[in-house]
Amino acid sequence: MRVLVTGGAGYIGSHTVLALLDAGHEVLVVDSFANSKPTVIPRLEELSGQHIPVHAFDLRDADKTERLFADERIDAVIHFAGLKAVGESTEQPLAYYENNLGSTFALLRAMERHDVRTLVFSSSATVYGEDAPVPYVENRDHLSSSNPYGWTKVMQEQILADVAAASPGLQVAILRYFNPVGAHESGQIGEDPQGIPNNLMPYIAQVAVGRRERLSVFGGDYDTPDGTGLRDYIHVVDLAAGHVAALGHLAANPEIAVRAWNLGTGQGTSVLEMVHAFERASGVPIAYEIVGRRAGDLPASYAKTERAETELGWRAERSIDDMCADTWRWQSANPQGFPG
């Protein structure tokens, strides 16, 4: 298939570009570089040995999006493009609603006009909201969130379901990611947050490499085995493979209009377990202190994984130790992230 990857220069998108090429698909990328650097592209080309056409514009520019679909043959779209920082979304809600919904509107319009019928969408475990019991199951009726970023995912899932119901032939796979971490085993691409990392793994990696002094562990008094929060960390290379599996599943099952799958491991790992795993992988002690809870954090989040296993034939294979070793390879080889 010829697959348009929106946000293909970003963290998960870049790893998925490699997985798609490896599986024999053709890829083209659209990215505004709002949260990524163009220098990722030559690395992807070197790793894959293939030329990757890149269109640098904001998907909300409906004319440019329309022209891209008019000019290029596109069989399927994987839609990663979006803003993703939970805290920032509470400070700039309008920017999040505008960007995340606006890019999806422009994309859906262009897909409709050019009869592109396959879409894989990046959703998040955040749509299970604050009250759902763990492990999270896909057939939960009421989705919600505690922050504007999460609401953009809930709203986009609803929009996609409505559009799919009204568009015979359109197929939408909604993939709800748990906590993507890790990096490509080459150490050439990985997560490169701008500014102070919001998420645990990049923060630990930056402490290990000397860019940050110490990790603040948000809360040591949760009702969990060691008092720190439990999350379902999933290696980004496993996650990327889940997208290839979803494309294949839609192609093999044309009756599917819209369906959601969790992409996680089903295992909860605590903050302190992750700190110690990273110390083992890197050989570097990680300074940390336990501070108060972060607003909006849940004690535990992990996936029920059966649906993806039985239907997509996909399961996460890489361990927490793999996630730490690969993150460290990327971070130690690229202490300041991508150049540029």
Active-site residue set: 149
Smallest distance, ligand UFG to C-beta of residue 125, A = 4
Beta strand pairing call for 269-270 and 230-231: antiparallel
Query: Of the candidates 25, 43, 55, 60, which one interacts with ligand NAD according to CB under 6 A?
Result: 60
For residue 105, which amino acid is it? Answer: F
Q: Which residues contact 5 (CB under 8 A, 6 or more apart)?
A: 13, 16, 17, 20, 27, 28, 29, 30, 77, 78, 80
Query: Of the candidates 34, 159, 284, 300, which one interacts with ligand NAD according to CB under 6 A?
Result: 34
Residues touching ligand NAD, count (CB under 6 A): 27
Beta strand pairing call for 179-181 and 54-55: unpaired
Residue 206 engages ligand UFG in binding (rule: CB under 6 A): no
231 versus 259: smaller Cβ distance to ligand UFG: 231
Structure tokens at 5: 């990857």
Q: Are 292 and 246 in contact (CB under 8 A)?
A: no
For residue 275, which amino acid is it? Answer: V
* Alpha-carbon 130 to chain mean position: 20
157-192 burial, b for 16+ CB within 10 Å, e for fewer?
beebbebbeebeebbbbbbbbbbbbbbbeebbbbbb
| Part of the chain binding ligand NAD (CB under 6 A), chosen from 54-62, 211-219, 266-274, 275-283 | 54-62
Smallest distance, ligand NAD to C-beta of residue 255, A = 27
Query: Of the candidates 31, 157, 238, 326, which one interacts with ligand NAD according to CB under 6 A?
Result: 31
Q: Which of 154, 167, 158, 205 is nearest to 183 (CA)?
A: 205
Residue 199 engages ligand UFG in binding (rule: CB under 6 A): yes
Q: Are 85 and 115 in contact (CB under 8 A)?
A: no
Residue 212 engages ligand NAD in binding (rule: CB under 6 A): no
Query: Of the candidates 217, 234, 241, 303, which one interacts with ligand UFG according to CB under 6 A?
Result: 217
Binding partner of residue 206 among ligand UFG, ligand NAD, none, CB cut-off 5 to 8 Å per kind: none
Binding partner of residue 250 among ligand NAD, ligand UFG, none, CB cut-off 5 to 8 Å per kind: none
Query: Of the candidates 6, 14, 16, 124, which one interacts with ligand UFG according to CB under 6 A?
Result: 124
Phi/psi of residue 64, each to 5°?
-70, -40
25 versus 176: smaller Cβ distance to ligand UFG: 176
Angle at 193 between CA 191 and CA 195, to 5 degrees: 160
Give the footprint of ligand UFG on residues 245-284 (CB under 6 A): 271
Residue 96 engages ligand NAD in binding (rule: CB under 6 A): no
Residue 103 engages ligand NAD in binding (rule: CB under 6 A): yes
- State the sign of the Cα–Cα–Cα–Cα dihedral 238, 241, 247, 250: negative
Structure tokens at 100: 């995340």
Binding partner of residue 231 among ligand UFG, ligand NAD, none, CB cut-off 5 to 8 Å per kind: ligand UFG
Binding region for ligand NAD (CB under 6 A): 7, 9-13, 30-36, 58-60, 80-84, 99, 103, 122, 124, 177, 180
